[in-house]
Amino acid sequence: QVQLVQSGAEVKKPGASVKVSCKPSGYSFGDNYIHWVRQAPGQGLEWMGRINPNTGDTNYAQKFQGRVTMTRDTSIRTIYMELSRLRSDDTALYYCARECGSSGWCHFDYWGQGTLVTVS
Amino acid sequence: EVVMTQSPATLSVSPGERATLSCRASQSLGTNLAWYQHHPGQAPRLLIYGASTRATGIPARFSGSGSGTEFTLTISSLQSEDLAMYYCQQYNNWPPWTFGQGTKVEI
């Protein structure tokens, strides 16, 4: 079955960087884009960006341009999201999610369990 | 950027009653809209895609309708496990993929 397993919780100081991993399984790694979505305390879901696991091509939300980097390691079938220059308002649950296809015009059908990043 | 507006922010419903959640888009989406259920501390769960298609394993009491800019999620007979946040999301005009601010369904 399809699963996306994320790395564990992180506590970081303001100004530091955090790198969260997402390891999909149960399907062909390169067939589906992977997106990152976050939820700050008391807030809704916020799209951060996506990566094509095949090519490494990315799209980032304008809000995070210059601070976020999404990469992949095809040898271990893992996706990474790194956020730099952390601020207290980056404290949030970070989710990876699988796009149902690779066209963009598709919903997110599977989600990781979430990674809590605390900036303090 | 497509702005998604959900209403109401909070919906109080008794078990067994019908719940109707609304989502409005600032631009026409066709039927490129999804609904997700989100319990605190858990991963969001896909309920509906293509505005009206239930995802695998989703009970029949959940239904979606609408097209263009107006969409509705209906829970025909609310169960206690349905108490959660519900988000609509558009995937027609991207990037970015955008979500509504959510509707909290409570007793």
Cis peptide before B96 (omega within 30 of 0): yes
Q: Taking the CA atoms of A3, A9, A12 and A14 in sequence, report the sign of the dihedral they define.
A: positive
pLDDT of residue A6: 98
A2 in Cβ contact with A59 (< 8 Å):
no
The Cα–Cα gap between A109 and B36 comes to 10
| Bridge partner list, A4 | A24
Q: How large is the average pLDDT for residues B58-83? A: 96
Of B45, B32, B34, the closest CA to residue B6 belongs to B34
Question: Measured between beta carbons, which residues in chain A are less than 8 angstroms from residue B46?
Answer: 107-110
Interface of A to B at Cβ within 8 Å reads 35, 37, 44-47, 49-50, 59-62, 95, 97, 100, 104-114
pLDDT along chain A (120 residues), means of 10: 96 98 95 96 94 95 96 97 98 97 86 97
> What is the end-to-end Cα distance of chain B in Å, rounded?
34
Of A77, A83, A74, the closest CA to residue A24 belongs to A77
pLDDT of residue A11: 98
pLDDT of residue A20: 98
Distance from CA of B82 to the nearest CA of A (A): 18
In tens, the pLDDT along B97-106 reads: 999 999 999 9
pLDDT of residue A103: 76
In tens, the pLDDT along B43-70 reads: 999 999 999 999 999 999 999 999 999 9
Q: Hey, which bits of chain B come out as E strands?
A: 4-7, 10-12, 19-25, 33-38, 45-49, 53-54, 62-67, 70-75, 84-90, 98-99, 103-106
Binary contact (A45, B99; C-beta < 8 A)? yes
The Cα–Cα gap between B105 and B19 comes to 8
pLDDT of residue B9: 96
Binary contact (B44, A95; C-beta < 8 A)? yes
Residues 1 to 60 of B: which have CB under 8 A from any A CB?
32, 34, 36, 38, 41-46, 49-50, 55
For all residues of chain B together, what is the average pLDDT? 96
